[in-house]
Amino acid sequence: MKRKLEPQDARQGRLGKPVLIVLVVGILLAMVAWGGAEWYGEETDPVLGAGSGQTGESGQAR
């Protein structure tokens, strides 16, 4: 025969602040990683603009 459980006893874990803290910290870490990738990408991006006057491999202006 099945025993009737109270909602408090049947719950798997607590809700509230611990879950919110994990979610907020995870989002903040994702934002830091994204910002780091953006910064690194900008630092390693070669600067080639239209009309910049840079020469190609043949030595002639583009």
pLDDT digits (tens, 9 = 90+) for 18-57: 888 999 999 999 999 999 999 999 888 887 555 555 555 6
Task: State both tokens at 8.
Answer: 């408090």
**pLDDT value of residue 59:** 56
pLDDT at 15: 64
Note the pLDDT of residue 18.
83
Q: How confident is the model at residue 2 (pLDDT cuts 50, 70, 90)?
A: confident
Give the burial class of 8: count Cβ atoms within 10 A of its Cβ; 0-12 exposed, 13-18 middle, 19 or more buried.
exposed
> Which residues does residue 55 pair with via DSSP β-bridges, in sequence order?
61
* pLDDT tens for each residue of 5-24: 787 777 766 666 788 899 99
Can you count the helices (H) and strands (E) in the chain?
2, 0
